[in-house]
Amino acid sequence: MLHYPKNRDPSFDAFRGLAIIAVVAIHAIPWRCYWDYRILVYRQFLDFAVPAFIFISGYWSSKKTLQSLKDYKIFLARRLSRVLIPYLFWSFIFLGRTAVKNDDIDMYGMVFKLLTGGASFHFYFIIMITQFYLMTPILQYVSRRRYGNEFIFLLNMVYLSFLYHLRLHNYWFFEYPYCLVHSPFLGWTIFYQIGLWMGNNDDKSFISRKERILILPAIIVSLLVAGIEAINILSKYNDLEFAVCALKYSSFLYSICIILGFVFIREYCKSWPKLIITLGNYSFGIYLIHTIILNRVVKIIPKINIISSFQPLYELTVILMTVSICLIVIGVSRKLLPRLIYSKILGF
């Protein structure tokens, strides 16, 4: 399915592949199901997805030399064109569809959504990663300074504390859009910084032999803590959006453990499943279009009683169908369309 370039690292594409499966799995869960605590805990298992993508972006950004304004301009031109042109194309598709459906064109609302990633609920990620690209020289500088990473960690924790205070005590001064909570880069800086740090220290071993045996227990324990926190937030504060949100202390701990687990496995695993690598290579395209396909899939499945009546089977079917159709759409587009169209405009 994929001619794999020699200059790419298959381990990172495999990690992307797992992360994009987790993204689709998150969006495949019907909102009403989260009131079942078992589903709520299962949702915490998938929370590593966005942190994984941010970590990978930080890792590869560390390989870019940004010692002059010219270097910075070249870096931005390549990175931003790669994400923003497809973002604008698909945002106009989503906004146009909404305008036709509602028979109303709100120009102010459309501009606001374009600037904040609100054209579709998952587009906040592109606004957030754009901020990281813009901030990369500063974050690279901080990463190389003594106690720089500790400063970023502290800054991120303070920002999370601010979010906890606002969300748990209802101190919002307006009806906040989902994207405004998730799109500021300060909420996710730890993961980009970990990527920068690891990318700058590729020759070092990050995990000692004694620590390696603790990785799996740490993942399990942090996942349990995340589940307990989510249940507590839902039962005590009745805040379902926050309970399933990845911007929680426990979810951050879990995601960091998953990243460390990936780093450990990467040292020993030299061969990765081709399908997972292909998913990773197609991950940005899948991210852009999967909700369109998923929304069609979930309308078909309820007609099949055997599947729709059993939640795990329903979830698995939605994921498999959505991912499969995405792979076909992207694969066919790459075969039939010029590279300028499928890569630069569609994001495939």
Q: How far apart are CA 213 and CA 117, in angstroms?
A: 40
Predicted pLDDT at 206: 65
Determine the 3-state secondary structure of 269 from DSSP. coil
**pLDDT value at 12 more than 90:** yes
**pLDDT value at 271 more than 90:** no
**pLDDT value at 5 more than 70:** no
Nearest Cα to 198, choosing from 76, 65, 61?
61
What percentage of the chain reaches a pLDDT higher than 90? 62
Which DSSP state fits 261?
A: H
Q: How far apart are CA 142 and CA 288, in angstroms?
A: 32
Q: Is 339 exposed, middle or buried (0-12, 13-18, 19+ CB in 10 A)?
A: exposed
- Angle 82-95-22 (CA atoms, 0-180°, nearest 5)? 55
Which DSSP state fits 344?
A: I
- Angle 72-74-80 (CA atoms, 0-180°, nearest 5)? 95
| Residue the block writes with tokens 């998952």 | 122
| Span 47-78, pLDDT tens digits | 999 999 999 999 999 988 888 899 999 999 99
